[in-house]
A = this chain, B = another copy of it.
Amino acid sequence: MLIPRALCGMARSNKKRTAGFGGSPGKRLARIVVKFGGTSVATVERIRQSARHVKREVEAGNEVCVVVSAMSGKTNELVGWVNEASAFHDAREYDAVVASGEQVTAGLMAIVLSEMGIQSRSFAGWQVPIKTDDAHGAARIVDIDGTELDKRMKDGWVPVITGFQGISPHNRITTLGRGGSDTSAVAVAAAVNADRCDIYTDVDGVYTTDPRIVPKAQRLSKISFEEMLEMASLGAKVLMIRSVEMAMAHKVRLLVRSSFDDPDAPQLAPDGTPGVPGTLVCDEDEIMEKQIVSGVTLAKAEAKITLRDVKDNPGVAAAIFGALADEGIIVDMIVQNIADDGATTDITFTVPDSEYDKAIKTLQAAGTDKRIEYARISGSKGGAKISVVGVGMRSHAGVASSMFKALADKGINIQLITTSEIKTSVLIDEQYAELAVRALHTYYGLDRKDA
């Protein structure tokens, strides 16, 4: 996990300024970074609707800084032109073209806010500046100078910043890669010591599981950074992993909420009771009643590959997964059994179904020229990874075994198991995936009462 070093010094505990969200009955000044995704700024009318959320926060006495994505569809249009221009384009030019999308939204948002009587101005990434490395197309934020933003906010202005982009050491525009606007927002929040970073999107929060599979899925009012990380990396596409990592490192509290809500409807209750719009992603300490399991996630189309009787030398795992990494194959679950004879071992891992054939070929080639010594290779596509996630697992023994029992009760066979501190994952046959998710969701008491 890479977190910009330069930002680390700027982070401070959010404990000093939890005002304005949860726990504090009186209304006190809070500083909020507000981020709007593509669907929230898809048209000028949508920008106006999103701006009303900003206005509400400003009128409540908060200092607000806005980060925007490109209008929905615009980034794809720009990327399409770049690809039409050349399949082998310079990443720096790609960035120059694609970064124009957020520039448009930032200007329009500043105009709309100004018309609502809110002092506002746009900042392109290079104007802040948001300094990045020069990994064009997937740049990392190195430093943000929050001085101007801080001054503006203190003077009652609402800065509007282009998400997804910054400026390289060579004075070229960089982009952070898809979903980078969330990361921009969190980094800006850290740089200006914000009390909260509100991610406005087209869903109203983080759910216990995918509501399309389990209609009884519930929106979580709070979730810890660690849980969110496990949820995000397991397929809950609400927030980008990078932005959650960065938020955790800098203790930036994230609120995931919908920009399609009525901006003028009653907002957060001071005590964070159910009914609050959105899900707060925060430090574990802030969550009073910890659920043992907070969510159940599902990732399909996972292929399983097993290497039998691998010669158990030091560095053998590095040789296997290095060979796969060289081919750009991303490996997910990894299980290594202790060898019976102390000389050989069995190693099983999963890759996306689409990478299965390539992975098999890569390992066969490595076996042929003795880079990796093993007896047999086998595997199959069509697996599904089901995970249960929850910080409560730390203090509750037996979550894993109860999970296995719940699946066994439904006659579902477990092919592979991996565990982390707050997560237990199993690989099962894809055809039982939805059945398994529903069973576990009910088993851990996550079903909505009213459903």
Q: Which chain A residues have a beta carbon within 8 Å of chain B's beta carbons?
A: 44, 47-48, 78, 81-82, 84-86, 88-90, 92-97, 99-101, 103-104, 106-108, 110-112, 114-115, 121-122, 124, 126-127, 171-173
Contacts and interface: CB of A to CB of B under 8 A. Distances in A.
A115 B100 CA distance: 22
B96 A82 contact: no
Contact of A103 (B86, B94, B96, B106): B96
Contacts of A93: 107-108, 110-111, 114, 121-122
Contacts of A82: 107-108, 111
B86 A114 contact: yes
A111 to B, nearest CB: 4
A96 B115 contact: no
Given A90-B121, A97-B104, 8 more contacts: A44-B85, A81-B108, A85-B111, A89-B111, A89-B114, A94-B111, A95-B107, A127-B171
B103 A124 contact: no
Contact of A111 (B86, B106, B112, B121): B86
Nearest to A51: B85
A101 B103 CA distance: 10
Contacts of A85: 44, 47-48, 108, 111-112, 115
Contacts of A104: 78, 81, 97, 100
A110 B89 CA distance: 9
Given A84-B44, A122-B96, A111 B90 contact: yes
Nearest to A77: B104
Nearest to A96: B107
Contacts of A47: 85
Majority DSSP secondary structure for residues of A touching B: helix
Contacts of A97: 103-104, 107-108, 111
Nearest to A173: B124
A101 B101 CA distance: 10
Contacts of A94: 107, 111
A95 B92 CA distance: 23
A81 B124 contact: no
A172 B84 CA distance: 31
A94 B44 CA distance: 14
A106 B100 CA distance: 11
29 contacts: A44-B85, A48-B85, A81-B108, A82-B107, A82-B108, A85-B108, A85-B111, A85-B112, A86-B114, A88-B115, A89-B115, A90-B111, A92-B121, A93-B108, A93-B110, A93-B114, A93-B122, A94-B107, A94-B111, A96-B103, A96-B106, A96-B107, A96-B110, A96-B122, A96-B124, A97-B104, A100-B100, A100-B104, A103-B103
A114 B103 CA distance: 25
Contacts of A173: 124
Contacts of A106: 96
A96 B120 CA distance: 13
**Which interface residue of A81, A100, A121 has the most chain B CB atoms within 10 A?**
A100
Nearest to A103: B100
Contacts of A84: 44
A9 B4 CA distance: 46
**Which interface residue of A90, A92, A95, A111 has the most chain B CB atoms within 10 A?**
A111
Contacts of A127: 171-172
A127 B99 CA distance: 15
A71 B47 CA distance: 24
Nearest to A80: B44
Contacts of A124: 96, 173
A74 to B, nearest CB: 10
Contacts of A121: 90, 92-93
Contacts of A89: 111, 114-115
A81 B104 CA distance: 9
A250 to B, nearest CB: 27
A338 B173 CA distance: 63
A94 B114 CA distance: 12
**Which interface residue of A78, A89, A94 has the most chain B CB atoms within 10 A?**
A89
The 3 closest A-B CB pairs, nearest first, are A97-B107, A100-B100, A96-B107
**Which interface residue of A44, A78, A108, A115 has the most chain B CB atoms within 10 A?**
A108
